Amino acid sequence: MADSFNTEILPLNACIIVLLWPLCCSGEIFEMFMEMPITNIEKNDTYICTAFKLNDVDSMFYQSLNFTVDEKRVHHLATGFCEQPARPDSSWDCTDKVGHHCTGATVNVAGWDDYTREEGQLHLPTGLTVKVGSKTKLKYFVTELHYTTAIQEDEQNRSPVTATLTLTDQPTKLRYQGYVMSTTGYIPSNTEKGFFASTACPWTGPAVFAFKYHVHTHHHGVLVEGFRVRNKTWTLLGSHLSLSKTKNHLNIQGGPIEIKLGDILAARCLFINPLNSNIKFGSTDFDEMCTFHLSLGYHPTDKAYFENPTSCSAESPQFSLCDYPDMLGKC
């Protein structure tokens, strides 16, 4: 290993990027350090997006993210790579477009909230990478921060989030893309004995492997489960007690599971709502969420299909797992 490295510091408006190139016998390892800008937050539940152009990376493979978060200010962090950010600004208020911070090719790579226990480091599953850089379709690294409360710039003395990307010049046999199952609509009132919000969609793409999963609910969620249904046989992808408020990226039990054309992917979340009013699904801390995220590995020959994340959503309480004949017995 070399005993020195090159360092370059590049200003990007209020953001700082530091690029490091340690040299090693096994290939080039590339680290990129970024600080999110300090911003005036005028309203509760504000989302701020920031885009960093990967000018100094031609074509490499993303592996992992190291980060720090000021948990007093930030409730949620989402990160990804984009062909183009949704706005030409380096940083912008994206509250009205939560989860839609990119145009063109997109890969969402890592997420954190204040219930995540994987503090400071998020890795892609072993054997998966994302091809990024100025000579690829994924030319930008983008972050989305959720501030639960208003705070003025002069009340902040440090960056709300710092991030260090680790890249390599060594490709993997499979590439990473995400898949999310979620619900819209609402949780009915007075469901003290429990209510399942469910979603399901047929898999219509090339064959992939599911490596990891993570789940998310807010204050009324108890349990989240995900399944693959093939020929009326149910295989559990993952199950997590979301009421415990400990959220991690968990391995699929027994190793990666194949998903292919003809399979159905399904998820359901158990909620308890003792209130006399419905609770809607939405993006604020007062709303609820029901999401089951999968980390998928696909063959590079299928890259055109996986340029963007795929997803599945259904309306609660109208949707039932009984809407699919192959899923009778779980509805």
Residues of the chain with pLDDT under 70: 1-27, 114-119, 244-247, 328-331
Determine the Cα–Cα distance for residues 291 and 95; give it in Å rounded to an integer. Answer: 19
Residues 190 and 159 in one domain: no
Question: Peptide bond preceding 317: is omega within 30 degrees of 0, i.e. cis?
Answer: yes
Please tell me the predicted confidence (pLDDT) of residue 98.
76
249: CATH: 2.60.120.230
Residues 163 and 179 in one domain: no
Residues 158 and 212 in one domain: no
Please tell me the predicted confidence (pLDDT) of residue 81.
95
Residues 319 and 218 in one domain: yes
Determine the Cα–Cα distance for residues 307 and 324; give it in Å rounded to an integer. Answer: 28
Nearest alpha-carbon partner for 202 in 287, 324, 67: 324
CA distances from 238 to 60, 166, 207, 226 (A): 31, 28, 19, 5
Please tell me the predicted confidence (pLDDT) of residue 18.
44
Please tell me the predicted confidence (pLDDT) of residue 114.
66
Domain boundary among 145, 167, 189: 167
pTM of the model: 0.85
Residue 86 main-chain phi, psi, to 5 deg: -65, -25
Decide if 185 is inside a domain: yes
Which residue's structure tokens are 């995540």? 116
Q: Six-digit token pair at 191? A: 């469901």
* Residue spans of alpha helices (H) in the chain: none
135: CATH: 2.60.120.310
Residues 222 and 78 in one domain: no
Number of domains in the chain: 2
Residues 101 and 182 in one domain: no
Domain boundary among 117, 143, 167: 167
Residues 296 and 180 in one domain: yes
- Domain holding 116, by residue range, is 38-167
